[in-house]
Amino acid sequence: MPRPRLNRKINFNPDVTFYKPQGVPLRFLDIVDLTLEELEAIRLKNVENLNQIECAKKMMTSQSTFQRILTSAYNKISGALVNGKAIKIINK
């Protein structure tokens, strides 16, 4: 039985929760789901310019877990941009 997921602290609620390539109808696009914790990791690291230790403390998680969340977010966003996919921010 897997260990239960801990709730991470998220201090950001986005107004916009969906992004898609311009000029392509949504019905032709694959959708990538980006979680709120992944978005928060991106925000803390890239927008707030905090180091990983500070980011992990703000999210109330370990540095290694923060790194895994950040890597997952980078992979999803990069794949969506390169392959022309839509990005949906989900509350999971």
Domain residue extents for the chain: 35-90
Q: Is pLDDT at 1 greater than 90 in this prediction?
A: no
Q: Give the C-alpha separation, 35 to 27, whole Å.
A: 22
What token pair was written down for 85?
């996919």
Q: Is pLDDT at 4 greater than 80 in this prediction?
A: no
Q: How confident is the model at residue 26 (pLDDT cuts 50, 70, 90)?
A: very high
pTM of the model: 0.89
Average pLDDT over residues 52-76: 97
Q: Is the dihedral of CA 34, 40, 44, 47 positive or negative?
A: positive
Q: Determine the distance from the C-alpha atom of residue 53 to the mean position of all C-alpha atoms in its chain, rounded to a whole number.
A: 18
How many Cβ atoms from other residues are within 10 Å of residue 85's Cβ? 19
| Residue from 71, 50, 17, 3 nearest 59 by CA | 50
Q: Is pLDDT at 78 greater than 80 in this prediction?
A: yes
Q: Is pLDDT at 61 greater than 80 in this prediction?
A: yes
